[in-house]
A and B are shown apart, each in its own frame.
Chain A
């Protein structure tokens, strides 16, 4: 609740985050003012992709992003991790969910409203399998991002560059709000196979729009499994190498 101590700051942050979504909404509107489709994506489909991205992004930032990307590297480097290691609770769980971001919690609500507005705009009746696969793929996206954040955080066991990396990845993730299958060649390969940002919003959105192939859905689950396994292996390896720098 520390974040609510400075009320003008707290409210301006929420307003800023809400305005950002509003302005990006105008950005897409301005593009579709001139064209009717981008690749296979209509205006409403792009709005769904955009709203889905922000739902995942906010759920990540409310829960684990700040803890893993910014707090954990600091705790590893200052030795603050020591005190947490002695607590009778799973260390990874504790350091991942230690602080809840209240600013993003309140900023999340307009995003949720926006998603509902997009559902209303889409004007289609969703079947249960569609809705369930959408929710499951959203959870998959959150797990994928969790793994990515944990991988970045664990680098601070060996380097001092984790903060810089976290800032960059935070910037790169924003690319996930655009339809990435409209890209061609090299960049398409990068964002589907190397840094698979399509997992964040595009694949869940496609599931809801019934344009997702079974192969791509299975690929999204496999990628998340792979990233998660790598992240946990790095976390365990890092803990073995951790010497405690605190005094």
Chain B
């Protein structure tokens, strides 16, 4: 209980920090919203030109809902992607100060990331609230309570999966001096094949198979497919089960990297 209280303090601190630079964060969310809007307008132009109500199994309304929902998920998945703090602490030696504090650095980074995601999600909701209202005639509601429940669960799992994926990459800083390149390359892949700008079902089947074999589609594509009721509940449950397996695998990997890395860690003070 005492440990949990410490982490609640970490969460509070993240909110206070973020609120200090709220203008920058809001502008960041705003630029994400504008980018999402352009993609929506591009797709609307595609639908206008196609002259058909549904393309690739998505009606205009479903596509708008998919893209705006994906945009909202992006506010806390992509904006916090890369977990720079972990890598930075190892590189510049500030990890040493964390190690002597009465809380686990791994837990500290986890709760800081969670705090950031919660903050950005709330800020994103505020920004996207106006956009949702503007597109209210297009938005499709979740078909039933079961899908809605699984959708909410998939959002929570997406947040965790993203953390463990990038945390594993960040922890490589124990062995390689600069992990930004590898995190950047992973983020680039996530941007497109996570499904934020296009449903993966639009890709040729070979590419779809490759993309679906990777964990990125659990972050946006699967949650939005569940929300739109594009998959039956049983299939959605199976998808989430596979996501949990990925998440547990990545969590274990990051914990192994953390323990081994710590044995490898050297910091020199002045």
**Which A residues are within 8 Å of any B CB, using their own CB?**
6, 8-13, 15-17, 19-20, 23-24, 26-27, 29-31, 33-35, 37-39, 161, 163-165, 167-168, 171-172, 174-175, 178-179, 182-184, 187
Evaluate contact between B38 and A175: CB separation under 8 angstroms.
Answer: yes
Tell me whether chain A's interface is mostly helix, strand or loop, or mixed.
helix
**CB proximity of B144 to chain A, nearest CB, Å:** 29
A and B contact pairs by CB, cutoff 8 A, 25 listed: A8-B176, A8-B178, A8-B182, A9-B176, A12-B181, A13-B180, A16-B181, A19-B185, A19-B189, A23-B188, A23-B189, A23-B192, A34-B55, A34-B56, A35-B50, A39-B45, A39-B49, A163-B24, A167-B28, A171-B31, A171-B35, A178-B38, A183-B38, A187-B38, A187-B41
Residues of A within 8 A of B189 (CB): 19, 23
**CB proximity of B217 to chain A, nearest CB, Å:** 13
From A10, A168, A175, B28 is in contact (CB under 8 Å) with A168
Evaluate contact between B178 and A37: CB separation under 8 angstroms.
Answer: no
Q: Which 6 A-B pairs have the closest CB atoms?
A: A12-B181, A16-B185, A9-B181, A182-B45, A23-B192, A9-B178
Q: How many angstroms between the C-alpha atoms of A171 and B30 in the bound complex?
A: 10
**CB proximity of B22 to chain A, nearest CB, Å:** 11
- Assign chain B's interface to a size class: 35 or more
Q: How many angstroms between the C-alpha atoms of A164 and B184 in the bound complex?
A: 19
B135 at the interface (CB under 8 A from A): no
Known: A23-B193, A175-B38, A187-B38. 12 other contacts (CB 8 A): A6-B181, A8-B176, A12-B181, A12-B184, A20-B192, A23-B191, A31-B198, A34-B50, A35-B49, A178-B38, A179-B42, A182-B42
Q: How many angstroms between the C-alpha atoms of A8 and B169 in the bound complex?
A: 13
B27 at the interface (CB under 8 A from A): yes
Q: How many angstroms between the C-alpha atoms of A35 and B63 in the bound complex?
A: 15
Residues of B within 8 A of A39 (CB): 45, 49
From A34, A163, A183, B45 is in contact (CB under 8 Å) with A183
Given A26-B192, A172-B34, residue A165 in contact with residue B179 (CB < 8 A): no
Given A23-B189, A39-B49, A178-B42, residue A9 in contact with residue B180 (CB < 8 A): yes
Evaluate contact between A30 and B185: CB separation under 8 angstroms.
Answer: no
Evaluate contact between A164 and B32: CB separation under 8 angstroms.
Answer: no
B148 at the interface (CB under 8 A from A): no
Residues of B within 8 A of A175 (CB): 34-35, 38
Given A26-B203, A168-B27, residue A9 in contact with residue B193 (CB < 8 A): no
Evaluate contact between B23 and A161: CB separation under 8 angstroms.
Answer: yes
Evaluate contact between A13 and B41: CB separation under 8 angstroms.
Answer: no
Residues of A within 8 A of B145 (CB): none
Residues of B within 8 A of A161 (CB): 23-24
The chain A residue with its CB closest to the CB of B175 is A8
**CB proximity of A41 to chain B, nearest CB, Å:** 9
Evaluate contact between A38 and B198: CB separation under 8 angstroms.
Answer: no
B235 at the interface (CB under 8 A from A): no
0/1 interface trace, chain B 1-40, chain A, CB 8 Å (1 if under): 0000000000000000000000110011011101101100
Given A8-B178, A16-B185, A20-B191, residue A37 in contact with residue B207 (CB < 8 A): no
Residues of B within 8 A of A33 (CB): 202-204
The chain A residue with its CB closest to the CB of B187 is A16
B46 at the interface (CB under 8 A from A): yes
The chain B residue with its CB closest to the CB of A39 is B45
Residues of B within 8 A of A13 (CB): 180-181, 184-185
B197 at the interface (CB under 8 A from A): yes
